[in-house]
Amino acid sequence: MAEAPAPDSDAIPATVITGFLGSGKTTLLRALLTHPDMEETAVLINEFGEIGLDHLLVREISEDIVLLNAGCLCCSVRGDLIHALRDLFLKRVRNEIPEFQRIAIETTGLADPAPIIHTLMTDPLIGARYRLDGIVTTVDAALAPSQLDTHPEAVKQAAVADRIVLTKIDLVEDCLLTEVRHRLRRLNPAAPILTALHGDVPPDELLGTGLYDPRTKTADVTRWLNEEAYHADEPHMHGSHHDLNRHDDHIRAFCVTLDTPIPWDRFVVWTDLLLAAHGARLLRLKGILNVAGEERPVVVHGVQHVFHPPAALPGWPSADRRSRIVFITRDLGREAVEATLRASI
């Protein structure tokens, strides 16, 4: 294979905050921005007026960027995301704005987070300056059952998350909260489910969920993949009692393990075939690969029909050198994925 680039731990980590309408994204973001650990954070939001941060405004830097007294930047996304991210970075380089060290991007309530993730993965300049740190999804505990039943967007937002934050927990009884947790766990076994009253969640529980441990700047594959969660949940995750009218009963989450090294050219052929046939059904893929002829492991990350360029780690994180790939899919079962993978490799 061609030399796989090493992932850049020094790129600015970007956290995507998503969730259905009224689920508490803005409340969560407002609370985060007041925390000392969120200093030097740039924020892209859809509607600046909705976040209600006027009392934090110190001075206006430009038409769409304001400096907050918590040491944060806020930029209202009125146009193209790529332009906004490039503009922020250039202003940072020119010392026109403070040198932010992380960025948070809030989506609209009906938004599919995939296009934002695609931007971070594929734009050459953006990908060289920013890296996807994680996806945080807020879920209204009181309305979750009906929203997951009737809105596929809500299901997808929860399925692709690295962290799920249950909000408005004071409005529901414990039995309903347990039911919602179980449902979310079936959707996304690997994502920790946190709870928040009035958006109060420690930033260190939401940030640093990407491949790199922010404290050590080294790759933490075990935490990033969390493949054990898929194995632990598989026996009962999709039982025989299905209501096929429920959107989340179409979601599958599983881990595929390969014991022998993978020829890179065959892996590429397989991914091309998989994306061509099932790209829209492949919600998210993460993996660490033992590539034939390569000493270093290669990490892969995909969202629907877009893959991040493969990256080689400096070394294996443990003695386990098996290839491990975790999938979250919609209307695409493990059997179909494994059959195409093994036939190609």
| Helical ranges in the chain per DSSP H | 25-33, 48-51, 81-93, 114-122, 124-129, 144-150, 152-159, 174-187, 221-225, 227-237, 264-278, 334-344
Is residue 17 a contact partner of residue 107, using CB atoms and an 8 Å limit?
Answer: yes
Tens of pLDDT along the chain (345 residues) come to: 556 666 677 889 999 999 998 999 988 988 888 888 888 888 887 655 444 444 333 344 555 566 665 566 666 554 468 888 888 889 889 988 888 888 988 887 777 788 888 888 877 888 889 989 999 999 999 999 999 999 999 999 999 999 999 999 999 999 999 999 999 999 999 999 999 988 889 999 999 898 888 778 788 888 899 988 987 644 433 433 444 456 688 899 999 999 999 999 999 999 888 888 888 889 999 999 999 999 999 999 988 878 888 889 999 988 999 999 999 999 999 988 988 887 787
- H or E stretch including 14? strand 12-19
Is residue 129 a contact partner of residue 14, using CB atoms and an 8 Å limit?
Answer: no
Q: How many Cβ atoms from other residues are within 10 Å of residue 74's Cβ? A: 23
pLDDT, position 118 = 81
The structural architecture, per CATH, of the domain 12-205 is 3-Layer(aba) Sandwich (3.40)
Q: Are strands 65-68 and 73-76 parallel, antiparallel or unpaired?
A: antiparallel
pLDDT, position 275 = 85
Q: Where in the chain is the domain with CATH 3.40.50.300?
A: 12-205
pLDDT, position 235 = 41
Residue with tokens 């080689």: 312
pLDDT, position 147 = 93
Per-residue DSSP letters for 205-252? GTS--SSB-TTT-SB-HHHHH-HHHHHHHHHHHT-S---TTSGGGGEE
pLDDT, position 236 = 39
State the CATH class of domain 229-344: alpha beta
pLDDT, position 241 = 42
- Of the candidates 154, 153, 191, 160, the one whose C-alpha atom is nearest the C-alpha of residue 303 is 160
Q: Where in the chain is the domain with CATH 3.30.1220.10?
A: 229-344
- The token pair at 118 is 């695609």
Q: 99 φ, ψ to 5°?
A: -80, 85
Residue with tokens 């985060």: 32
**How much is the pTM?**
0.88
